[in-house]
């Protein structure tokens, strides 16, 4: 196992983590911006008003992108297991 192999594996792991969490965080951030604009317009500063819509938005994102995320993580896991099997032999 070379240093290049380990660095490539680390890079692939970080890229997979980034791309799988991006849709969920994107929905949460967009919901947060929308709620912040509404709060600024109406001058309602309620803490729970920001939390619940973000949670709902992230749940919707997980429902919409869940199969894609699962497919991406499964593919990465299969690749990782296959490469681990090749290291030992």
Cα 12 from Cα 77, distance rounded (Å): 11
User: Considering just the CA atoms, what is the radius of gyration of the chain in Å?
Assistant: 19
Q: How confident is the model at residue 88 (pLDDT cuts 50, 70, 90)?
A: low
What pLDDT does 75 receive?
A: 94
Global pTM value: 0.77
The DSSP output letter for 5 is H
Query: What is the rounded distance in angstroms from the CA atom of residue 51 to the CA atom of residue 28?
Result: 10
Q: What is the pLDDT of residues 14-58, one digit of tens each?
A: 999 999 999 999 999 999 999 989 988 988 888 778 888 889 999
């Amino acid at each position: 196992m070379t240093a290049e192999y380990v660095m490539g594996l680390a890079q692939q792991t970080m890229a997979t983590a980034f791309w799988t969490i991006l849709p969920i965080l994107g929905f949460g951030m967009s919901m947060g911006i929308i709620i912040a604009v509404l709060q600024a317009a109406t001058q309602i500063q309620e803490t729970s008003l920001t939390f619940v819509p973000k949670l709902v938005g992230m749940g919707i994102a997980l429902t919409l992108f869940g199969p894609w995320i699962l497919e991406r993580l499964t593919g990465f896991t299969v690749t990782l297991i296959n490469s681990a099997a090749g290291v030992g032999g």
